[in-house]
Chain A
Amino acid sequence: MLHLILFLFFGTICVAGAINLLVQSHPINSALSLIVVMASLAAEYLLLGAEFVAAVQVLVYAGAIMVLFVITIMLLNAGKEERTKGSRVATLIGVPGVVLGGVLVAWTLLHRPDRLSFPVGALKGDPGDIARLLFHDFLLPFEVTSVLILIAIMGAVVLASRPEPVGRPVHTSPRPRETRELVATEKDRP
């Protein structure tokens, strides 16, 4: 009973955060509501007994990836979202289609005759067991993801570094944001 209440509590927070992400017009508010979603998902993982996954969820998603998002928003000084038309196909067909599909899936899930259920915390996600699985059974995928992340690091460095103004005229358009100016001087200091 207590578990069900906790599930509903965190689930409500989760859904509220997700909807808030859609409603808010300023990216930083969207980012914060996404952080709330991730934190409450970590609580849901704890209810499922996946302790290690919950800790890593907070550490990696909420503590690292979302910080990157917040830094980018701060760095680019992103203002309120401007409303433009966008793709008409997306709004006319995509949105009703997605909602219809969602309703269909929900209906199927809730009306299945054999309701699967399981005791809470049934499967202990012990770090040792997960490590055994990760480094024995899934060793090849593990190594492949490590290569992937190495490539991603290099790609990010190449993409985000300022191109050298060698052999071509200096960018002439006026720089609109003062913060960019200041950040640039910070970075370019010898």
Chain B
Amino acid sequence: MSITTFVIISIIKSLAVVGVLLTAVAYSVWLERKVSAHIQNRWGPTRVGPFGLLQPLADGVKFIFKEDLTQPHVYKPLYIAAPMIAMVFAITSISVIPFGNWVEIGPWGMYLQITDLNIGLLVVLGITSMGVYGVALAGWSSNNKYSLLGGLRASAQMISYEVSLGLSLVGVVIVAGSLSLRDIVDAQRHLHWNIFLQPVAFFIYLISAYAETNRTPFDLPEAESELVAGYHTEYSAMKFAMFFMAEYANMVTVACLATLMFFGGWLGPVFGPPILQMTLPVLWFCLKVFFFMFLYVWVRWTLPRFRYDQLMAFGWKVLLPLAVANIVVTALIVAWRA
């Protein structure tokens, strides 16, 4: 493959993935509103399009036409840069996620993934960890007590839970023997899904993932009843929308990662003609990710919020020792069987 075709194919892949991701983000907002409404015995959005399906579009138009306020007391360069930082890292982290197996369209064949790295998992974790800066800088540059507190809380919470998140994935890496996401999925063939092999790691991952994405019951950084709106108090219009989209994009990435690491990624029953054999893995992948997105919404509208000291104590005193114990036990069993 010459370098020109390589660049063109990469650009097309990236555009397609970003397009799919942003659509998924828009419709997870719709999902959130719809599910929360049904949980509270309401209807949710119904007016715009059938079942309110065009509501995300209307929301987008609203965000674009709202007044973009910039308060005089903010520190401007960082105030403007913060939402962009959050957005960029939220979108970039999808770049090494594989969506399906090998597909062939006529003479062309490729993996459904922008790029396969042998350190894919570390890349996802690294880019996600950079996302903290968006939130922290937004809180700091707003020059507002509530924003500052929200930013401080968010950064402390995210680096605390990142530790247990990373350690919970180490068990999976030990079992699979690779850091490449594709190899990890391939190691889970024949229903050897890691949810069965590593149940403790899965629950640690799930809880830490909720804290990483600042979702209820760990949405302390934007706790409305204490901090107005936390780090994005001073933001409006598209700048606020960027934080909003970054949050949902992070949720999608974390759900994809959970699917790949614990639920066998695109693995599932594959049958029928070639066209079905190519599309079914993608369908299984999307269904599993959808399940996690639904779980996110379900949890958010069911559980109350933690208190901040409870959050920190839980992260450091419960999740972290559990994750370490899980690694030790996994390593011992793997070493014993080898």
Residues of A within 8 A of B (CB): 28, 32, 35, 51-52, 55-56, 58-59, 62-64, 67-68, 70-71, 73-75, 126-127, 178-179, 182-183, 186-187, 189
Contact = CB atoms under 8 A, between A and B. Distances in A.
B16 interface: no
B126 A59 contact: yes
Interface string B221-251: 0000000000000000000000000000000
Q: Which 8 A-B pairs have the closest CB atoms?
A: A63-B129, A55-B122, A58-B126, A59-B126, A55-B119, A74-B140, A51-B119, A71-B155
A12 B145 CA distance: 38
A56 B148 CA distance: 29
Residue with the highest number of chain A CB atoms closer than 10 Å, among B122, B139, B151, B159: B122
Interface in B121-172: 122-123, 125-127, 129-130, 132-133, 136-137, 139-140, 145, 148-149, 151-152, 155-156, 159, 162
A64 B148 contact: no
Contact of B136 (A52, A58, A67, A189): A67
B179 A127 contact: yes
A121 to B, nearest CB: 13
A73 B125 CA distance: 24
B148 to A, nearest CB: 6
Contacts of A28: 78, 137, 140
A75 to B, nearest CB: 7
Nearest to A183: B152
Given A64-B162, A179-B148, 16 more contacts: A56-B122, A58-B127, A59-B122, A59-B126, A64-B159, A67-B136, A68-B159, A71-B152, A74-B136, A74-B140, A74-B148, A75-B152, A186-B308, A187-B309, A189-B307, A189-B308
A64 B136 CA distance: 13
A55 B127 CA distance: 9
B15 interface: no
Nearest to B77: A29
Contact of B309 (A63, A179, A189): A189
Contacts of A58: 126-127, 129-130
Contact of B122 (A52, A178, A182, A187): A52
Contacts of A35: 133
Chain A interface helix/strand/loop/mixed = helix
A75 B145 CA distance: 12
Interface residues of B, number: 30
Given A59-B129, A74-B136, A127 B118 contact: yes
Interface string B177-189: 0010000000000
25 contacts: A28-B140, A51-B117, A51-B118, A52-B119, A52-B122, A55-B119, A55-B126, A56-B122, A58-B126, A59-B126, A62-B126, A63-B130, A64-B162, A67-B129, A67-B132, A67-B155, A67-B159, A71-B136, A71-B152, A71-B155, A73-B140, A75-B152, A179-B148, A183-B152, A189-B308
Contacts of A59: 122, 125-126, 129
Contact of B126 (A32, A63, A73, A126): A63
Contacts of A68: 159
Nearest to B120: A55
A55 B133 CA distance: 18
A63 B132 contact: yes
A74 B127 CA distance: 22
Nearest to B307: A189
Contacts of B133: 35, 67, 70
A70 B127 CA distance: 17
Given A71-B155, A127-B179, A182 B129 contact: no
B88 to A, nearest CB: 12
Contacts of A179: 145, 148
Contacts of B155: 67, 70-71, 74
B43 to A, nearest CB: 39
Contacts of A75: 152
Contacts of B119: 51-52, 55, 127
Given A58-B127, A58-B130, A59-B129, A71 B122 contact: no
B149 A186 contact: yes
A51 B122 CA distance: 10
B126 A182 contact: no
A54 B49 CA distance: 47
B334 to A, nearest CB: 14
Contacts of A126: 118
A120 to B, nearest CB: 15
Contacts of A70: 133, 136-137, 140, 155
A28 B152 CA distance: 14
Nearest to A42: B126
A183 B136 CA distance: 15
